[in-house]
């Protein structure tokens, strides 16, 4: 069935568009951590249309900003009801390039933040790479304005565009959402699995959260559980639901499998990269005789503020009391102390005689930490087997 632009305009007048909500689940807690709002056209005859049946027509006839302007107040109303129910959930909202090309969306969002109807930190805008890569001045100004207002930015369908890395480099995304096509091939294609794993690790090193969408089976959910991604979304967890059903789901106390292993693995990756960065910095200094500008930032990080520290003193505390967990703290703190000494030694123009023993000490502490992290991971995996 072909839909015309005038039918879409009529549907807007009749208020036939609504949002369905698809939950996202935290792999760490197994609980709903937020939802993505997905537009649906509920026609008078009872048919419910998904976006691909009408959004391309709306896009071609330049109506998307009009739809967004019409739907945004509805999103805010729904948001109030969702927040009333459950507190801290985030809401993700898809926008297209044409929304950013027109000034109204930024104004609408800013207004709703300033009159208290929207808490910016809980709104995440999902844009596809192809939107984000358009180096158009108006789009760039809109994105800067939205980020300044405090909203979060998610790169949707990551991996399908041509300039993913350039776009990630250019804009401060807070979330990366892997495209469904990788997830759907996960069980059949080791290459897809590797692309997912390395993208998650890359995001971790950039300080960005990851969401995987398109989880259609328990088998895929469980495979992803230990990969280290932050959240999952897909039909196996729940299909997109009308608001009332989504609120019922929030109230139902339903939960899905959860594991601390993924986050532990990400902490381990951060740790080993930090260690390599420090040794590379010292190597460059010894070779070139100059302390790189980046050394201050790298070597003067408090042990609670590095990626491993954020995990250890944050969500990792759920493992407190276990001997391998407790055994991590001292060598980690000492690693940071040695980093401070290395920084001072480089500032005092010391040579290999002073720096080599410091690197040896750093390496010993790092080995202690790695072995505790590995043991902890093995124990956690075994305990999941029951």
| Binding positions for ligand C2E, rule: CB under 6 A | 22, 38-39, 50-52, 55, 64, 94-96, 126, 156-157, 180, 213-216, 233-235, 240
- Residue 379 structure tokens: 């124990």
Q: In angstroms, how far is CA 147 from the centroid of its own chain? A: 16
236 or 273: CB nearest Mg ion: 236
129 interface partner picked from ligand C2E, Mg ion, none, CB below 5 to 8 A per type = none
240 interface partner picked from ligand C2E, Mg ion, none, CB below 5 to 8 A per type = ligand C2E
Q: Is 155:167 a contact under the CB 8 Å cutoff?
A: yes
40 or 365: CB nearest ligand C2E: 40
CA pair distance 28, 195, nearest whole angstrom: 21
Q: Considering the rule CB under 5 A, would residue 129 count as an interface residue with Mg ion?
A: no
Question: Mind giving me the DSSP string for 142-202?
Answer: HHHHHHHTT-EEEEEEETSSS-HHHHHHHS--SEEEE-HHHHHTTTT-HHHHHHHHHHHHH
Q: Is 289 left (phi over 0), alpha (psi -120 to 50) or beta?
A: left
104 or 363: CB nearest ligand C2E: 104
Binding mask 51-90 for Mg ion (x = CB under 5 A): ----------------------------------------
**How many residues make up the chain in this entry?**
386
7 or 216: CB nearest ligand C2E: 216
CA distances from 204 to 189, 223, 264, 327, 365 (A): 23, 19, 12, 24, 23
For the chain, the distance separating the N- and C-terminal CA atoms, rounded to the nearest angstrom, is 53
Question: Mind giving me the DSSP string for 299-310?
Answer: HT--TTTSHHHH
Q: In angstroms, how far is CA 166 from the centroid of its own chain? A: 18
Per CB under 5 A, the list member of 89, 157, 231, 268 interacting with Mg ion is: 157
Pick the stretch among 150-158, 197-205, 249-257, 298-306 that binds Mg ion (CB under 5 A): 150-158
CB of 371 to ligand C2E, least distance (A): 39
34 or 234: CB nearest ligand C2E: 234
CA pair distance 105, 189, nearest whole angstrom: 40
20 or 343: CB nearest Mg ion: 20
Per CB under 5 A, the list member of 156, 237, 266, 355 interacting with Mg ion is: 156
100 interface partner picked from ligand C2E, Mg ion, none, CB below 5 to 8 A per type = none
CB of 98 to ligand C2E, least distance (A): 8
Question: DSSP alpha helices (H): ranges in the chain?
Answer: 5-13, 51-60, 64-86, 97-101, 104-114, 129-133, 137-148, 164-170, 180-184, 190-205, 218-224, 243-251, 261-288, 294-299, 307-312, 323-347, 352-384
Q: Considering the rule CB under 5 A, would residue 126 count as an interface residue with Mg ion?
A: yes
63 interface partner picked from Mg ion, ligand C2E, none, CB below 5 to 8 A per type = none
CB of 135 to ligand C2E, least distance (A): 20
User: Nearest to residue 82, comparing CAs of 42, 121, 35?
Assistant: 35
Q: Considering the rule CB under 5 A, would residue 94 count as an interface residue with Mg ion?
A: yes
H or E stretch including 232? Answer: strand 231-233
CB of 79 to ligand C2E, least distance (A): 14
94 or 281: CB nearest Mg ion: 94
50 interface partner picked from Mg ion, ligand C2E, none, CB below 5 to 8 A per type = ligand C2E
Pairing of strands 32-42, 48-49: antiparallel
214 interface partner picked from ligand C2E, Mg ion, none, CB below 5 to 8 A per type = ligand C2E
95 or 208: CB nearest ligand C2E: 95
Contact residues for Mg ion, defined by CB under 5 A: 94, 126, 156-157
């Amino acid at each position: 069935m072909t839909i015309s632009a005038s039918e879409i305009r009529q549907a807007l007048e009749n208020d036939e568009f609504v949002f369905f909500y698809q939950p996202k689940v935290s792999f760490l807690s197994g609980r709903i951590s937020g939802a993505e709002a997905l537009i649906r056209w509920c026609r008078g005859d009872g048919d419910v249309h998904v976006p691909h049946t009408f959004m391309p027509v709306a896009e071609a006839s330049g109506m998307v900003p009009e739809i967004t302007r019409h739907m945004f107040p509805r999103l805010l109303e729904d948001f109030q009801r969702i927040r009333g129910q459950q507190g801290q959930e985030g809401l993700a909202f898809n926008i297209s390039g044409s929304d950013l090309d027109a000034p109204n969306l930024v104004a609408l969002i800013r207004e709703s933040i300033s009159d208290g109807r929207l808490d910016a930190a809980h709104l995440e805008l999902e844009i596809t790479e192809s939107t984000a890569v358009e180096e158009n001045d108006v789009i760039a100004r809109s994105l800067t304005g939205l980020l300044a207002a405090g909203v979060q930015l998610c790169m949707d369908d990551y991996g399908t565009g041509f300039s993913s890395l350039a776009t990630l480099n250019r804009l401060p995304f807070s979330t990366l959402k892997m495209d469904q096509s990788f997830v759907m091939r996960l069980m059949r294609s080791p290459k897809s699995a590797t692309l997912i794993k390395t993208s998650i690790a890359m995001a971790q090193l950039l300080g960005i959260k990851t969401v995987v969408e398109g989880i259609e089976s328990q088998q895929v959910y469980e495979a992803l559980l230990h990969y280290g991604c932050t959240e999952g979304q897909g039909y196996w967890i729940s299909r997109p639901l009308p608001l009332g059903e989504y609120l019922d789901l929030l109230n139902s106390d339903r939960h899905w499998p959860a594991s601390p292993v993924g986050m532990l693995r990400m902490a381990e990756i951060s740790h080993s990269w930090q260690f390599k960065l420090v040794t590379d910095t010292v190597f460059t200094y010894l070779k070139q005789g100059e302390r790189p500008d980046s050394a201050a930032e790298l070597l003067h990080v408090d042990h609670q503020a590095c990626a491993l520290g954020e995990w250890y003193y944050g969500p990792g505390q759920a493992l407190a009391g276990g001997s391998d967990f407790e055994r991590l703290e001292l060598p980690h703190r000492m690693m940071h102390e040695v980093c401070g000494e290395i920084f001072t030694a480089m500032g005092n123009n010391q040579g290999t005689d002073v720096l080599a023993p410091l690197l040896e000490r750093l390496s010993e502490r790092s080995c202690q930490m790695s072995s505790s992290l590995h043991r902890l991971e093995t124990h956690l995996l075994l305990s999941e087997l029951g």
